[in-house]
Structure 1
């Protein structure tokens, strides 16, 4: 089903400022409205401007009529009571310009009488829906008259119908891990995960996850304003990696109106069949600190990981990262331990569609992994060592790990950007898929902690999400080539 929510002009004006920040709206459904039929689960928000045209500040509503002003995804249905239900629309995007429904040039006039009657029925109350046939006719009319809506609909549908990964396929496994690493970066930095979730398989199996990212649509008016305000004007710190001949590098940027910026860099240098796994590296530039997570897949059935020489060698290499860290000299440099590297033993259900939630798994600090390998709890019947939920009594889950990183309680101390660049590129050339997040901001440690503790969505600044174009620099001119 495709849902249509109708608001009056004053109601629309009251909510729009919040929607630009929260990207979320919960709307009650009329009693008895059927919601079991499957469908697109798209939502169209309509401003009914027939009675109160003067109460809306947007110039586009100077005329009477009904206009589609926002589009979104119905992510969940909520049971309010024994009978009453509501839908939560998230994420939402404002249309580049309002789409008129009424009048000779309106969308309804281009529909057949049957489909127009179905859409009018959905418009008759505060919330309704139309079936598949009516939606297909409505979509065809929308895209013919307003082709600028195409990327919005494509992006929302990609969020609603995510690609299902095949855990038996090496490329899908790699993209699955990289997706989780990307979502982890948004989790520890408080940027919206929806900016990285719309995705389709890239043309090549060897390409990084970000190569298949479907761009988040943004209004041209907002882009123009943000460029004037200074957002989006800074060149990516890792732009030169896109000119290197031996790696594939894709970059996506999230930046909010306070100037806080997350540059996400997805790089690999080897064919997927010979890749060693995924690294997530998060670097917080104001404190010159980074955290690394090395992904390890638990077997789907027993949810266990049998330790081998490759893992032990990798742990030896990761322990060298601790040598990059200096001793804390200021209060915000203190850490719970010297651990800056973690192993994430993760598992995914076969055939499970991706969600914005992180993959279930155990986050284990490297020093704790060493203790576990010397403890009888990980000793197998034949003498080998095994990591599993049954054998590892204590571990961090995704939310706990994210909170530690957000508050700067784990990570290196005093590591430079140059060390980060050298280390990240080295990991890619050694055969890992690297998902690197580079955060810059003017936040003080106190301001960072205050933001991390805040649970109010209304106070969040607006975020831009974009893939910056590569510089015209020739490959032969790129550093390190």
Structure 2
């Protein structure tokens, strides 16, 4: 972009932290790209006749997706997009390109034509990355954060990876429930131990030092509640705290109290502190071929305990406490196909959200009976359950305050989490706190316009 276009779009980019640009259909990015989908948004000053080019690195991001915008052009969406706060020149004696081999510099110049989208080889990117890290070490954390998202994990068929896969899905779902960008907790590298929580491998987005002290002062609620698990108790507990531009705070706690070999599954809890309401989701993995599970005595016992958990809710006493039914507890029958091509993890897993009372009816109906007419076995899956909540429907219900408990305290929530963790579950819990009114929350949830996606991210980890 020329300097005028950058100036005109700077405020928009800072709010949305992503952008979409058209590109020719003839540019086959997937075929040309042999490295991470890192995007360099280059600024260029107007050139004088016969003068040298004056380009600088203005923004860094990831090519998240491609689309079609017409008969001639396609589009590329960069998300996340982050501003380079330092002046990083490409050209001239002190420019980044001066330190890379001439043939790679020529390839870069060919791809970096004004106003267009181009693709460079991985060799060019590696040379530019080395130069950036050497000349501008303050960019190191941002590069690490972006590269971790550009190269997402490939989960294998083993207990640790399957547990992390579930915890990853729960973490992403909690971000969607709280209206934070998925990129906030998606930069991940495999932790050193399979017993560690998924969030132990998260790489926080770099924050400005001027904001850190503020964050430390106001981000201590979850840390205090789980302090006994932060002091070498044998339970691994990681806490990530996010703040958005309006002052809302999201505390994400990930607890593993048992070794991975004896872990029973994953629980997700989302607590909206202003309304004292939580929803509880227990994960169940569908068979990758049949997309179903058999209902055994263990699952029936888990349903009993979920019904006990629902008793933490009180009857509504005012309109804002009314819920669409009395089910705060759900099963997510999550589906992960066999990863035979070793593809990296992308997005949230498909699956069906089933309230406990609905499951009870399903288990009494012939639709869940086994294949044989006299079978007593019960099966839950896509072939058996005709109606279910999708992820989008479930999230919309919770975000609008139409599902969840009424009048549940943080102390009750803590006792529940401790019970579940010690029983062998991985627990991923988020507490959202804010000063926004019920009306303001509804306005934010219903707003389909561009939202401010900036946030501060701080991490509290147990020292082993």
TM-score of the aligned structures, taking structure 2 as reference length? 0.92
Matching of residue 372 in structure 1 with residue 362 in structure 2:
yes
Partner in structure 2 of residue 18 of structure 1: 12
Aligned partners of 2:266 and 2:428 also within 8 Å: yes
The alignment partner of 2:88 has SS state of: strand
1:354 to 345, 348, 351: 345
CA distance change for structure 1 residues 244 and 365 in 2, over 3 Å: closer, same or farther?
farther
- Does residue 409 of structure 2 align to residue 416 of structure 1? yes
RMSD (Å), alpha carbons? 2.0
Q: Give the corresponding residue for 1:61.
A: none
Which digits, 9 at most, give the CA deviation of each residue in 1:397-423, with x for residues without a partner? Answer: 100000010011111111111101111
Structure 2, unaligned stretches of length 5 or more? Answer: none
Is 1:407 matched with 2:400? yes
Are 1:76 and 1:87, in contact at CA under 8 Å, matched by a contact in 2? Answer: yes
Aligned match of 2:76 in 81, 87, 92?
87
Q: In 2, distance between residues paired with 1:462 and 1:149?
A: 18
In terms of mean alpha carbon deviation, does 234-243 or 260-269 score higher? 234-243
In the TM superposition, what is the alpha-carbon distance from 1:232 to its structure 2 partner? 4.9
Deviations 1:66-115 (A, max 9, x none): 21021111122223333322211111111241211122111122222222
Q: How does 1:292-371 map to 2 (within 5 A)?
A: 292-351=280-339, 352-356=343-347, 358-371=348-361
Counterparts in 2 of 1:227-266, with a 5 A limit? 227=212, 230-239=214-223, 240=227, 241-243=229-231, 245-266=233-254
Q: What's the counterpart of residue 137 of structure 2?
A: 147
- Structure 2: how far apart are the matches of 1:340 and 1:86? 41
Shift of 1:29: 2.4
Deviation at 1:51, TM superposition (A): 5.6
C-alpha spacing 1:115/1:14, structure 2 compared with 1 (3 Å): same
TM value normalised by structure 1: 0.89
Q: Deviations over 1:422-460 (max 9, x none)?
A: 111111111100000000001111111111111112x43
In the TM superposition, residue 376 of structure 1 has moved relative to its aligned partner by 1.6
SS of 2:4's partner is helix
- Compared CA separation, residues 316 and 33, structure 1 to 2 (3 A): closer
Query: For 1:161 and 1:146, how far apart are their aligned partners in 2?
Result: 22
Matched position secondary structure for 1:279? strand
Q: Secondary structure at the match of 1:129?
A: coil
Number of residue equivalences: 447
Alpha-carbon contact 2:170-2:428 (below 8 Å) kept: yes
Change (3 A) 1:461 1:359: closer
C-alpha change, 1:254 and 1:373, in structure 2 (3 Å) is: same
Q: Indicate which of 253, 268, 288 corresponds to 1:280.
A: 268
Instruction: Provide closer, same or farther for how the CA distance between residues 123 and 461 of structure 1 changes in structure 2, counting only shifts above 3 A.
Output: closer
Pairing partner for 2:45 from 49, 62, 73: 49
CA distance in 2, matches of 1:32, 1:205: 45
Q: Which residue of 1 aligns with 2:456?
A: 464
Instruction: Could you tell me which runs of 5 or more consecutive residues in structure 1 were left unpaired when the two chains were aligned.
Output: 1-6, 53-63, 476-481
Matched residues in 2 for 1:232 and 1:370: separation? 45
Is 19-28 or 364-373 further displaced after alignment?
Answer: 19-28
For residues 342 and 30 of structure 1, do their structure 2 counterparts lie closer, same or farther at Cα, with a shift above 3 Å needed?
A: closer
Q: CA separation in 1, counterparts of 2:3 and 2:408?
A: 53
Residues 96-143 of structure 1 deviation map (CA, whole Å, 9 limit, x = unaligned): 412111221111222222222222222332222222222222222222
Is the 1:202–1:212 contact (alpha carbons within 8 Å) kept by the matching residues of 2?
A: yes
1:267 aligns to 2:255 (yes or no): yes
Which of residues 50, 64, 71 is equivalent to 2:60? Answer: 71
Q: Deviations over 1:287-346 (max 9, x none)?
A: 011110000011111011101111111111111112211111111101111111001111
2-structure distance, mates of 1:159, 1:177: 18
Query: Aligned partners of 1:27 and 1:98: how far apart in 2?
Result: 23
